[in-house]
Amino acid sequence: AQSVTQPDIHITVSEGASLELRCNYSYGATPYLFWYVQSPGQGLQLLLKYFSGDTLVQGIKGFEAEFKRSQSSFNLRKPSVHWSDAAEYFCAVGAVGGNKLVFGAGTILRVKS
């Protein structure tokens, strides 16, 4: 069965600083991997996804993520955080050709000025 671990429940960074949110997955084959963002009171919005090809994927809002098969990781990064990035971030894994997603517990990002 698929599972996702986001080890950091909360992260606080200063505006302008770089950001890395960790995600580790467990899945028996090559997974589909996703990062979603949830702003307060809102639904989830897809930031980026990986399902094949280049292991460094670019997403919206200046985010990128790198798939590392050897580490079963799909960490999210941003070189310079903006105050509007404060939100909760979810990593998710899906099976190739499947419909179901399994989400991690989420990481709450706080941005201090």
Partner 1 sequence: DAGVIQSPRHEVTEMGQEVTLRCKPISGHNSLFWYRQTMMRGLELLIYFNNNVPIDDSGMPEDRFSAKMPNASFSTLKIQPSEPRDSAVYFCASSLDRRGGSSYNEQFFGPGTRLTVL
Contacting positions for partner 1 (CB under 8 A): 32, 36, 41-46, 49, 51-52, 90, 94, 96-97, 99-106
The least distance separating partner 1 from the CB of residue 11, rounded to whole angstroms, comes to 17
Minimum CB separation of residue 79 from partner 1 in Å reads 25
Q: Give the burial string for 37-51 (b: 16+ CB within 10 Å, else e).
A: beeeeeebeebbbbe
Give 72's Cβ-side CA count (13 Å radius).
12
Nearest distance from C-beta of residue 58 to partner 1, angstroms? 16
Nearer to partner 1, 15 or 103 (CB): 103
- What are the beta bridge partners of residue 48? 35
